[in-house]
Amino acid sequence: MQVPLVKSDLPDSPFRRRFVRGLALGGVAAGCGFLRVPALAADAGRILSGSEFDLDIAALPVNFTGHRRIATVVNGQLPAPPLRWREGDTVTLRVRNSLPVTSSIHWHGMIVPADMDGVPGLSFMGIAPGATYTYRFRVNQSGTYWYHSHSRFQEQTGLYGPIVIEPRSERHRVDRDYVVMLSDWTDTDPERIYAMLKKQSNYYNFGRPTAVDFLRDVHADGVKSALDDRRMWNQMRMDPSDLADVSGYAYTFLMNGMTPADNWTGLFRRGEKIRLRFINGASMTFFDVRIPGLKLTVIAADGQAIDPVTVDEFRIGCAETFDVIVTPQDDSAYTIFTQAMDRSGYACGTLAPRMGMRAAVPALDPRPQLEMRDMMGDMSGMHGMDHADMGPAAMDHVAMEPAAMGGMKGMEGSCGAMPGMKMPMAATAIASGLGIDMRVDSPRSNLDDPGIGLRDNGRRVLAYADLHTPGAPISPDTGRDIELHLTGNMERYVWSFDGMKFSDAEPLRLKHGERVRIVLVNDTMMTHPIHLHGMWSELETPDGEFLVRKHTLVVQPAQKIAYRVSADALGRWAYHCHLLYHMEAGMFREVIVA
């Protein structure tokens, strides 16, 4: 449950959304009037540091679009106050719930005892209305993290904030250090969004192919090719534009709680090194981040140091964090441009020598569409075929929902076959039925793909293959493998592991002290950020070598990844997709370490 939102007097339309996205109305309310968020990067009065903290969760009026809504905030702030800790300290956080419903705070990426993790129903019962819960734990790590509610849709309504942990010794000395927290605000009650997705899963997708697109394809490829392409997607009950469940139609994208018109600004002097701590606190939005005119040197991922790598752009999935260093060499303003993966909108801010300066805001990139690799996975076995021109006659089908397969030529069991292509069955038997509309029997395992919309865009884009954690892994070897499939039915808006939503699934059980390899196979055409609470996830290369340590791993469509987990934390832990509505729709498991 969450605080009910005030209903709008105006109909929610894409035209109104495009209009209000440009309004300079961002801010949170305090007392009887509205308090505009100051366009300053560093506001020491809003940062909480030390080892003792008092946090109050409450409802507060906000106005980002010209319409008054009720947000869920901490200490009257949205985002919640930045918390600054020191590695090695023991912190105490007294959290009072002033809401009329149960609430919670989860310390995302923090390695803490199970009863401090903040997941109602697993690690504790939640914080009842009017009650105070005291979190106390030792900080045994450093870097950039964040905190958020784990109670229904409170994260969507504003309960999220950054955490910065100072290390015992700093690897990268900088002149300026800013948090850049990205999020997706909606004026619509999240319960209504969820209900709409259950009724019509593509309700918020305004990028679906139109008659104009069809005529363009006819002009470019001919009538037969255009018809074959449409027939293929229609037969599969899939949509090549299905990149995000909730788009800019419903969302206003924020940077540090400010709209693009409010222009969050970080100041610098020419030649200074600036550390930007990017945190994706969005409920459903992947962002593609770049600063035109500046190279980005990525130095940390999910709070963990990596060997520095310099890029033009990177994608940040929900719940991920990336630290980058930039060094402006002149007195110009630079736009921090973060466009949504589906290109339905953006958040942006400015780095500048003086307040009030702005640089040009780039146009949104063309809206991408899913490719064959996002549906079929590994296509290396398709000898002699032109991958770009495959239609239904060549393809017959990817594995699909049983109800959709009747009478389809070439379908045997749950998998069709392409000429010259062997498609082995997956190693793990999973449930089938109404909860699964697709299976990928030959997933791709490459990690050098930056993802849909970033491939071959003319810029140097970060990929997981570029991330290297220095030093040895926590888990040098593993004793057993656990293979899980990310599954779903888009039309029914049901999401799951192995075809079983959380309410029907047994917990995953790990023996305390054992080391396991988790293999995730994405049997859907959506990108999923997967988060295991309480333990690190150490991503492997396709050859099985240790690559990078993270707390949240993004799995692209039709992709298989493997990572090591050391089950060194006793207790009950959450394991889930960090797309909020996917988690609520069933892509969640309990992990028991005993």
- Cα distance between residue 514 and residue 216, in whole Å: 56
Report the DSSP pairing between strands 160-166 and 143-148: antiparallel
The verdict on pTM exceeding 0.75 is: yes
**DSSP state at residue 108:** E
Instruction: Mark 187-215 as b/e (b = at least 16 C-beta within 10 Å).
Output: bbbbeebbebbeeebbbbbbbebeeeeee
Kind plus residue range of the DSSP H or E element containing 374: helix 373-376
Identify whether the C-beta of residue 514 lies closer than 8 Å to the C-beta of residue 482: no
Identify whether the C-beta of residue 318 lies closer than 8 Å to the C-beta of residue 531: no
Identify whether the C-beta of residue 527 lies closer than 8 Å to the C-beta of residue 451: yes
Q: Using the structure block, give the residue that is written with the tokens 């409450």.
A: 58
Q: Angle at CA 523, nearest 5°, toward 521 and 528?
A: 75
- Cα distance between residue 109 and residue 578, in whole Å: 12
CA 274 to chain centre: 25
Residues 6+ apart with CB under 8 A from 123: 114, 115, 116, 117, 571, 572, 573
Three-state DSSP class for 58?
A: strand
Identify whether the C-beta of residue 524 lies closer than 8 Å to the C-beta of residue 557: yes
For the chain, the helix, strand and coil percentages under 3-state DSSP, each to the nearest 5? 15, 35, 50
Query: In the prediction, which pLDDT does 208 show?
Result: 56
Three-state DSSP class for 346?
A: strand
- Cα distance between residue 342 and residue 231, in whole Å: 23
Question: Tens of pLDDT along the chain (594 residues)?
Answer: 333 333 333 233 333 333 334 333 444 433 333 433 333 344 444 899 999 999 999 999 999 999 999 999 999 999 999 999 999 999 999 999 999 999 999 999 999 999 999 999 998 999 999 999 999 999 999 999 999 999 999 999 999 999 999 999 989 999 999 999 999 999 999 999 999 999 998 988 877 565 555 566 656 777 676 566 666 656 555 667 689 999 999 999 999 999 999 999 999 999 999 999 999 999 999 999 999 999 999 999 999 999 999 999 999 999 999 999 999 999 999 999 999 999 999 999 999 999 999 999 999 999 998 888 887 788 675 544 444 444 433 333 344 443 333 333 333 333 333 333 333 333 455 656 677 878 888 999 999 999 999 999 999 999 999 999 999 999 999 999 999 999 999 889 999 999 999 999 999 999 999 999 999 999 999 999 999 999 999 999 999 999 999 999 999 999 999 999 999 999 999 999 999 999 999 999 999 999
| Amino acid symbol at 439 | R
Identify whether the C-beta of residue 284 lies closer than 8 Å to the C-beta of residue 194: no
Identify whether the C-beta of residue 175 lies closer than 8 Å to the C-beta of residue 165: no
- Cα distance between residue 357 and residue 515, in whole Å: 52
The size of the chain, in residues, is: 594
